[in-house]
Amino acid sequence: MKSGFEKVAIEHGDRLKVISIEHLKELKEIIGDFKDQEELNGFQKWIINELYQFEILEEDFKVNSIILIAIHHPFYAKVDFLKEGKKKTFLSLVRADFNKTEEYLRKYVEEKGYFIEVTKNLPMKRLGTHSGLAKYGRNNITYIDGLGSNFSYASYFSDMMCKEDTWSEVKNAEACDKCNLCIESCPTGAIRKDRFLIDNQKCLSCINEIPGEFPAWIPVTAHHTLYDCLICQRNCPMNYEQVDNVIECVSFTEEETNMLLDGKPIDTFSKEFKTKIYMLGINEWYEVIPRNLKILFEL
């Protein structure tokens, strides 16, 4: 049965779990075991050794739980660019509205007399799958009933107690048992049949976000987004109900397109231009946007 808090998240189009803080230590051990058992590349080691941080922050309250929330967002936006008088349309991911979600979370917990504070970088996908909120797809992306993969995670420490402990072994999505669509559609062969972990050094989602020249082995036709990659998610049956949740009407003028291609500083942009940039999350990957946009214009 859904708790009142979970129902509030659903009313806002999101999903959440309150996870007992006792599982944080366990989560750290799980990640440690995973590191020992798997052959990891440099980037994966960096994620585990440097990015993840498990310590409980010194707060003004006793931390009893982690609130993990999956914040819905549109699947992607079709974005028009103008260059030399010609319009071209490329895809961009759309940023979830973290502020709006935090607002209603704070309101809910504070009305009940509790506090929340943003955690440091936890392994959210692991947290999501162990908590029962999500399931892993074969493409290593997590999926939630009713949202597909159209969400971003956020996590908070709280003094609220976890009333129903749903922690369990990681669950893989049953839909993957008889499906190979992501493997077949991945343009770079990053998803392996014989191993759960994808080859992130081949995954366009990672490559698109690392500065520098694109590796020569990536076909130009693989490029389709300003950052990240949408192909395996667009082809996934678990997203069939999500694929039409698209923003159609974002467009950049020729002047704006040229400013992006030249990597001009965002703080020099007009208010309207900035609004589009933040809504698409382009600002988070700004260093690579000129390169990524240039290759899209080569298509």
Positions touching ligand SF4 (CB under 6 A) are: 137-139, 173, 175-176, 179, 181-182, 186, 188, 190-191, 198, 203-205, 229, 231-232, 235-238
Smaller CB separation from ligand SF4, 129 or 188: 188
Shortest CB 17 distance to ligand SF4, Å: 21
Smaller CB separation from ligand SF4, 65 or 188: 188
Shortest CB 176 distance to ligand SF4, Å: 3
83 closest CA partner among 214, 238, 257, 277:
257
Smaller CB separation from ligand SF4, 65 or 233: 233
Cα–Cα distance, 87 to 78 (Å, whole number): 12
Shortest CB 138 distance to ligand SF4, Å: 4
- Torsion, Cα 211 214 219 223, to 10 degrees, reads 20
Shortest CB 91 distance to ligand SF4, Å: 12
74 closest CA partner among 88, 99, 92:
92
Which one-letter DSSP state was computed for residue 228? S
The two structure tokens encoding residue 135: 């399931």
CA-based torsion, 213, 217, 222, 227: positive or negative = negative
Smaller CB separation from ligand SF4, 24 or 186: 186
Q: Where are the beta strands (DSSP E) in the chain?
A: 15-20, 65-72, 76-83, 86-92, 116-118, 135-136, 142-143, 151-158, 246-251
Smaller CB separation from ligand SF4, 117 or 209: 209
Shortest CB 48 distance to ligand SF4, Å: 19
Smaller CB separation from ligand SF4, 159 or 228: 228
Shortest CB 292 distance to ligand SF4, Å: 14
Distance (Å) of CA 280 to CA 93, 102, 138, 251, 277? 6, 19, 26, 11, 5
Helix or strand or coil: residue 144? strand
